[in-house]
Amino acid sequence: MSKQINIKKTRTILALAPHPDDLEIGCGGTLAEHVERGHEVHVFIATFGDVGGSGEMRKAEQEAASHILGVKKIHWGGFSDTKLPQLTQKLMDALEDLIAKVKPDTVYVNYAEDTHQDHRTLAQVARSVTRYIPNVLCYETPSSMNFEPSLFMDIHDVLSHKIRALEAHASQVEATHVTLNILEIALATARFRGVQGKLSCAEAFVPVRMRL
């Protein structure tokens, strides 16, 4: 009898964000967990976030954070911060080209209902360009509204990766406009979502589509 060899294909993950640090806040632990599982992780950052600080500095911070998480490659959109609504077609073209190149089986993108116009635009465009992707999940950021997750990733073993990646965004740690910094917000959210998901700490998602 011939022996059947089961070869598991490496999964390819693509995570989309409007600005540097959005991914680390929303799904940094999940991306680290994918890397731990041997998956290939790519990220797309639409802008350099220069309205919130030096674009050059924020680019360097994102590169440091991505290295901590184990990201294979950062794909920069180079779009103008806060101007994505005026650049919808160019953003769509860029993402369609990227998806054709990377060929992800799973895409993460920020939740569409949000107070920031760049977040809303990226989520809307992503809904169109990922229409043939089998797994599409929406993560939360501090500006998300009415976020009601039903899917949770256990990030207990990679929480330190998430925190170190957030610390790499040094120029943004205190730039929250509230009394908590981004590290405190991330830890509080991880514990709260963990309770919801019956875990010690978690990141939460609203699935657009999931293939079991």
All structural domains of the chain with their residue ranges: 12-207
* Model confidence at 1: pLDDT above 60: no
CA-nearest of 11, 15, 9, 77 to 49 is 77
Q: CB within 8 A of 158, min separation 6: which ones?
A: 29, 32, 33, 36
User: pLDDT tens-digit profile of 98-146?
Assistant: 999 999 999 999 999 999 999 999 999 999 999 999 999 999 999 999 9
CB 136 within 8 A of CB 44: no
Residue 143's nearest CA partner among 60, 75, 82 is 82
Is the distance from CB of 69 to CB of 161 less than 8 angstroms?
yes
Residue 9 has pLDDT above 80, yes or no: no
> To which H or E segment does residue 13 belong?
strand 12-17
Residue type, 130: T
Structure tokens at 27: 């799904």
Ordered alpha helix ranges (H), 2-142: 22-36, 55-69, 88-102, 117-129
For the entire predicted model, the pTM comes to: 0.93
126-136 in b/e form (b: 16+ CB < 10 A) is beebbeebebb
Instruction: Name 47's bridge partners.
Output: 79
Count Cβ atoms below 10 Å from residue 87 Cβ, excluding itself.
19
Distance CA 58, CA 32 (A): 20
Is 12-207 a CATH 1.20.1260.10 domain? no
pLDDT at 100: 98
47-65 pLDDT tens trace: 999 998 898 999 999 999 9
